Amino acid sequence: MKYLKAVLVVALLSLWGCSSLSTTTDFDPDTDFSKYKTYSWYTGEMPADDALSADPLAKKRAIKSIDAYLLSNGYKLVSSGADFVVILHAGTKEKMQINNYGYGGYGYGMYGRGWGHGYGMSQTDVTYYDETTVIIDIADADKKELVWRGTGTGIIRGKLTDEERDAVVAKILADFPPKKLD
């Protein structure tokens, strides 16, 4: 029974961690994605503001999740001669949320007379949080150009569990390879 409860908690955390994640994808419709069988990782220089370059342990964990996803979908990781290259990067932006709570007013006065009194209250809360965007790019290895991009944007509070990270990767890569356009 304890094991079942633990499995349910992990499953709920995975869904919760993914539910606030907003994903988008875009791709080159002229690309024949069916020819892609092997991949490698981009090993070049990343921009200085890349959030994952600043946190190599988080990047290593994300790469592990992406590898697991791609391998389970029939792709093979190779050291040379890949069909496509995976480029992983991320950014973080500080956001501000303002909540205004208004409370009803009170008053008194005489009906038909010209005098009265009333008052009300309001409270404004300002909260700052970090919004993270993870970007998974797929580039054609021969053409050396981007052919697919998946992004996931959300609020990450603390370190993700392996299950939560796998769920985020699965949600971002759900449309890779893209379906053919009719």
The tens digit of pLDDT for each residue in 143-168 reads: 999 999 999 999 877 778 889 999 99
Higher pLDDT, 48 or 140: 140
The pLDDT of residue 106 is: 58
SS (H, E, C) 101-155: EEEEEEEEECCCCCCEEEEEEEEEEEEEEEEEEEEEEEEECCCCEEEEEEEEEEC
Q: Are 89 and 49 in contact, with CB atoms under 8 Å apart?
A: no
Percent of the chain with pLDDT over 70: 78
What band does 107 get if pLDDT is binned at 50, 70 and 90? low
Q: Which stretch of 11-15, 72-76, 132-136 has the lowest confidence by average pLDDT?
A: 11-15
Does pLDDT of 17 surpass 80? no
Q: Which stretch of 20-24, 46-50, 51-55, 119-123 has the lowest confidence by average pLDDT?
A: 119-123
The pLDDT of residue 159 is: 79
**Residues 9-19: what's their mean pLDDT?**
37
Q: Domains in the chain and their CATH numbers? A: 2-96+125-175 (3.30.160.670)
Structure pTM?
Answer: 0.73
Helices (H), the chain: 2-19, 56-72, 162-172
Q: Are 52 and 160 in contact, with CB atoms under 8 Å apart?
A: no
Q: Which stretch of 102-111, 119-128, 151-160 has the lowest confidence by average pLDDT?
A: 102-111
Look over the chain and give the mean of its residue pLDDT values, rounded to a whole number: 82
CA nearest 61: which of 163, 134, 165? 165
Q: What is the pLDDT of residues 36-81, one digit of tens each?
A: 999 999 999 998 889 888 889 999 999 999 999 999 999 999 999 9
